[in-house]
Amino acid sequence: MLEVKTRGKRIWDSGFGRALRQAPFDKLRVNRAGEHLLKINGKTYYERGKIMKKPIIIMCLMLCISGCGFDKMDKGLNVLMHKDAGVAFGIIGYPDGKNKFGDETVYFWTMNNSSAMILPQTSTTTGMVGMTPVYGTTTYNQVVPVNCNCLIKLIADENNVLISYEWRGNNCGCRSYNDKLGRYYEQMQEK
């Protein structure tokens, strides 16, 4: 439990309503359930659900679509090194393009797509009815835009043997490549 003690300072947190903002308070606590407990002149007022739910949900969503869980991608690409580029084409499909730089060839796979996810959101409304604090919650759906992207580059030497790789992207963009390379890595470990 977090406890903030002050001595007669005024509240400037808009969540407690205008009447409380003007009053001096004795102490403010925030418990693990996210309730703000406010003590004014010996009387306790509380406000429920003031944890920032929307940013927390969005941060969790971004963590899910960020680059976490890509150990298979690196392991699979590492196993492809020193093999013919045709092996990579058989595993992750034909590349979207290639570029020549001297004796080296860069094969690349790209994916970029925008979509939207519908996430439930909860909003808390607080106020005062006379001297009694009141609150209510509203649940609604909000559309959150999501950008899925992935770029894989495999560099082959003059004999078309893979010598290095580079990739970047997020989970929803690289998922299919990650899965294919993960299966290939596991097959190679069994041999």
Residue 64 belongs to a domain: no
Structure tokens at 48: 């429920």
**Environment class of 26 (CB within 10 Å of its CB; exposed 0-12, middle 13-18, buried 19+):** middle
Chain length of the chain? 191
User: Does residue 183 share a domain with residue 103?
Assistant: yes
Q: Which residues contact 9 (CB under 8 A, 6 or more apart)?
A: 24, 25
User: Does residue 79 share a domain with residue 47?
Assistant: no
User: Does residue 154 share a domain with residue 97?
Assistant: yes
How many helices and strands (H and E) does the chain possess?
A: 5, 8
Number of domains in the chain: 2
Domain of 32, in residue numbers: 1-51
Per-residue pLDDT of the chain (191 residues; tens, 9 = 90+): 333 334 444 433 434 443 344 444 445 555 555 555 555 556 655 544 444 455 555 555 555 544 445 678 899 999 999 999 999 999 999 999 999 999 999 999 999 988 888 888 888 888 888 888 887 888 888 888 889 999 999 999 999 999 999 999 988 889 999 999 999 999 999 87
Number of Cβ atoms within 10 Å of the Cβ of 154: 24
User: Does residue 75 share a domain with residue 43?
Assistant: no
Q: Coil, strand or helix: which one is 62? A: helix
